[in-house]
Amino acid sequence: MIFTRTAVARLINTFTVFRKRKIVKTQLITLVAGARPNFMKIAPIARALDRARDRFRYEIVHTGQHYDEQMNAVFLRELGIPEPALFLNAGSGSHAEQTAKIMVGFEAYAGAACPGLVMVVGDVNSTLACSIAAKKLNLAVAHVEAGLRSRDRTMPEEINRIVTDSISDAFFVTEPEGIANLLAEGHAKKRIHHVGHVMIDNLLYQKDKLEKQGAAAYASAGLKAKLGRYGVVTLHRPSNVDDRETLARIIGALAHIADELPLIFPLHPRTQKQLDAFGISTGPHIHTTPPLSYMEFLNLWKDAALVLTDSGGMQEETTALGVPCLTLRDNTERPITIAEGTNRLVGTDPARIYAEVRWILDGGSRNGRRPALWDGHAAERVVAALPGILA
Ligand code: UD1
């Protein structure tokens, strides 16, 4: 066969274009965010990728799992998260409905964009849905905050963690227990990266910003000044708020505590809905508010006498700042917050909760320390590991 000069040039061109495309495409990283706790985790990763923009291109896909202004847009703005390339509008519905809607939307996006890596964070339904859709397209998936296990399979997040980790290609881990869990499940050591905690990167960054700006501009400053000593509550786990008797028992315990320590309680939409449905009142000394922005909330809890919570992230953030934390659950997927931090599991028995609160109010304290690598530089470590994952 004889090749003309043009044909050869065309061949070379095609090859170059193909290679160029390949180079560009393998450098595209898709960051997935969907629910409130995801936003704190992608913000520092986006910042670190911005600093490495000569090597990586990224875009954000927002699944719309959380959609209210206060659960979503306020966070994107305050945390400085770039405009998402795509909003899937998949909020609400049952778990199956929500997960399915996200999968369908994300499959269409990822099939066309063909990213070199899909990065999912945490353990919400969006994490699960996008990792499954991506793997079915043979795309590489990296899971940030991998390896955590509560061993409680009644928790939707535990199912999300197990499934996501079972199909991910790379694991970014916050604590040694995460490494042990992944190794025990048969994952190769070389795929596991102990980078620390991107959510703590965000916390330290925003706290620094708050201190530089001064808190006076925040509405929470007035409430703080009025109350003096106070506690902060967050509650939204289905196991705590979806059952009338359990929710009534917890609110009863909180009302009792609030007789001597005023409590500030920003209500998650799920919790608000259930309080209304069950006709449960929070009483006169619990200051309920709508969901707060990250900064308003940080301004409150960082100076609280104690935090009562069932959130995963709050257990870690309180540990990072040394604020006493009582977790209204029987288990945690974040054991380092107990071993090294200020966290204590107290379940939902009112007598137990009250005894623990009493101990703290009487001056009891746990001299926690900030776990290794929770130092504000985890996202840089994530980005440093990317060349090995994208290759
Ligand atoms: C989800 C995550 C949970 C995370 C929590 C943080 C899962 C399985 N759960 O739980 O891990 O700790 O987010 O907030 O992914 N709603 C609104 N407005 C919103 C968002 C939700 O009104 O912006 C309502 C929904 O309609 C629904 C309820 O709140 O009735 C729960 O929302 P959903 O996203 O299903 O789960 P969360 O409880 O928020």
DSSP string spanning 352-381?
HHHHHHHHHHTT------PPTT-SS-HHHH
- State the distance from the centre of ligand 1 to the C-alpha of 237, rounded, in angstroms: 9
Q: Which residue has the tokens 């540990």?
A: 319
- State the distance from the centre of ligand 1 to the C-alpha of 111, rounded, in angstroms: 27
* Residue 43 to residues 98, 201, 349, Cα–Cα distance (Å): 24, 9, 37
pLDDT of residue 77 exceeding 80, the answer is: yes
In angstroms, the CA 96 to CA 153 distance is 16
Closest ligand 1 atom to Cα of 92: 26
* Residue 199 to residues 57, 133, 321, Cα–Cα distance (Å): 22, 25, 13
In angstroms, the CA 5 to CA 28 distance is 34
270 C-beta closer than 6 A to ligand 1:
yes
236 C-beta closer than 6 A to ligand 1:
yes
pLDDT of residue 133 exceeding 60, the answer is: yes
In angstroms, the CA 56 to CA 66 distance is 28
- State the distance from the centre of ligand 1 to the C-alpha of 89, rounded, in angstroms: 14
**What's the mean per-residue pLDDT of the chain?**
93
Query: Does residue 236 carry a catalytic annotation?
Result: yes
User: Beta partners for 173?
Assistant: 194
pLDDT of residue 180: 98
pTM beyond 0.75, yes or no = yes
35 C-beta closer than 6 A to ligand 1:
yes
Mean pLDDT for 339-361 is 97
- State the distance from the centre of ligand 1 to the C-alpha of 3, rounded, in angstroms: 62
* Nearest alpha carbon to residue 235 among 295, 307, 127, 334: 307
- Atom 21 in ligand 1: which residue has the minimum CA distance? 66
Mean pLDDT for 192-205 is 98
Lowest mean pLDDT among 20-24, 109-113, 130-134, 161-165: 20-24
Closest ligand 1 atom to Cα of 160: 8
333 C-beta closer than 6 A to ligand 1:
no
Annotated catalytic residue within 187, 193, 197, 236? 236
267 C-beta closer than 6 A to ligand 1:
no
Residue 387 token pair: 């060349």
pLDDT of residue 4 exceeding 80, the answer is: no
- State the distance from the centre of ligand 1 to the C-alpha of 270, rounded, in angstroms: 7
Mean pLDDT for 232-259 is 98
Q: Where are the alpha helices (DSSP H) in the chain?
A: 5-27, 36-51, 73-78, 95-113, 125-136, 156-167, 176-184, 198-213, 220-227, 238-241, 244-258, 269-278, 294-301, 312-321, 336-339, 350-361, 378-390
Please report how the helices 220-227 and 294-301 are oriented relative to each other, as an axis angle in degrees rounded to 10.
20
161 C-beta closer than 6 A to ligand 1:
no
Contact 192, 182 (CB under 8 A): yes
- State the distance from the centre of ligand 1 to the C-alpha of 164, rounded, in angstroms: 19
In angstroms, the CA 41 to CA 43 distance is 6
- Atom 3 in ligand 1: which residue has the minimum CA distance? 124
Residue 272 token pair: 């608000």
Please provide the size of the chain in residues: 391
Closest ligand 1 atom to Cα of 65: 34
**For the segment 15-67, what is each residue's pLDDT rounded down to a tens digit?**
444 444 444 334 799 999 999 999 999 999 999 999 999 999 999 999 999 99
- Atom 13 in ligand 1: which residue has the minimum CA distance? 35
Measure the N-to-C terminal CA separation of the chain; round to a whole number of Å: 36
**For the segment 155-184, what is each residue's pLDDT rounded down to a tens digit?**
999 999 999 999 999 999 999 999 999 999
**For the segment 269-281, what is each residue's pLDDT rounded down to a tens digit?**
999 999 999 999 9
124 C-beta closer than 6 A to ligand 1:
yes
Q: Where are the alpha helices (DSSP H) in 70-219?
A: 73-78, 95-113, 125-136, 156-167, 176-184, 198-213
156 C-beta closer than 6 A to ligand 1:
yes
Contact 343, 337 (CB under 8 A): yes
User: Beta partners for 143?
Assistant: 120, 171
Closest ligand 1 atom to Cα of 273: 30
